[in-house]
Amino acid sequence: MKLIIEILVFSGFLFLINSCKQTRTEIETTSTLVLKKKYSQILNDSIDFRVYYPPIEKNQKVINIIYLLHGHGGSEDDWTSEEEGNIQLILDSLIYNDLIPPVVAVTFDAGNSWYVDSKISMEQFFIKEWIPFVETEIIGKYSIDLRIIAGNSAGGYGTLGFSLKYPDIFDASLLLSPAAYYPTPPMISSSRKIDVFNDEDGFSEEVWKSYSYHNINIDTSDVSKYPSFYISTGDDDPYEIVDVVVQLQSFFKENGLEHELSIINGGHSWDVWKDRFSYDIVRVFQGLRVK
């Protein structure tokens, strides 16, 4: 197990991703990536979303699900395009090489909502409408084993909030360069340029603070119900995310939450996010609970 995980750290893992050698002889189908649209009653609008359907094994009855959240300025295409997340190639490679079981991945266009209830009720949509829709209409007949949530940058901000506020939903939470600044974001942050965190005078530090993870009540009497957190970023991230993840680590330690922090060479980019996503998702499915 240790050897497998160490392999993922090195460049040899990139060869594994590209070679996509099939070792699961019982797989009956190939994966598909589809674009769909859904009307939301909560948002009073239609949203575009993409679904990765994995290769399916014979007589499969149980499936896993990954909810993917994109960053600021992104859309449902971020995680799926070959130039960015390329999630189909990554998951295909991990499944075919028997590193993870089949998993469905879903991602939708959340605009620049930062996944909170502000001008639009994106948090309410995600919890009350999106998850039930996915698990009824997309997962359908399969029983769900693990629920995982992952997000990069602003998507990491949303992933953190959902994981702390609704801990019973998710088994693992992957925070990829999460833009969860505390107490306030730096001037370079895109969070200062949108109306989500504005008052009548523009960006409001008080509005920003009102959404802070420090304001979420953590049930320290039963931390086992919280997902395992995997936090990561690049050491050259220009958006000051290294400071963010160090603060998060302290927060998790203070509250007794299981977590792992990794800082690797790189910036605020998909090279870092794909590397850490691949590394951590294997640990999740191999049952390596962080200590």
Report pLDDT for 9.
45
Report which DSSP code applies to 19.
H
Count of structural domains, the chain? 1
Distance of CA 124 to the CA centre of its chain: 18
CATH code of the domain containing 264: 3.40.50.1820
pLDDT of 22 strictly over 80: no
Residue 291 included in any domain? no
Torsion angles phi and psi, residue 53, rounded to 5: -100, 125
pTM recorded for the entire structure = 0.91
Residue 27 pLDDT grade (very low, low, confident, very high; cuts 50, 70, 90): low
Report pLDDT for 28.
60
pLDDT of 289 strictly over 60: no
Residue 28 included in any domain? yes
* Beta-sheet strands, E only, within the chain: 32-40, 45-53, 62-69, 103-108, 143-152, 172-176, 198-199, 202-203, 228-234, 259-264
Number of C-beta neighbours around residue 171 at 10 A: 16
Condensed to tens digits (0 to 9), the pLDDT of residues 76-106 reads 999 999 999 999 999 999 999 999 999 999 9
* Cα 40 from Cα 123, distance rounded (Å): 13
**Angle CA(74)–CA(75)–CA(81) in degrees, nearest 5?**
95
Q: Which of the two residues, 288 and 115, has the higher pLDDT score?
A: 115
Condensed to tens digits (0 to 9), the pLDDT of residues 219-232 reads 999 999 999 999 99
Residue 290 included in any domain? no
Residue 21 pLDDT grade (very low, low, confident, very high; cuts 50, 70, 90): very low
Residue 15 included in any domain? yes
Q: What is the mean pLDDT of the chain?
A: 91
Condensed to tens digits (0 to 9), the pLDDT of residues 227-246 reads 999 999 999 999 999 999 99
Q: Which two tokens stand for residue 110?
A: 């959340």
70 is in which domain, residue-wise? 2-285
Residue 80 included in any domain? yes
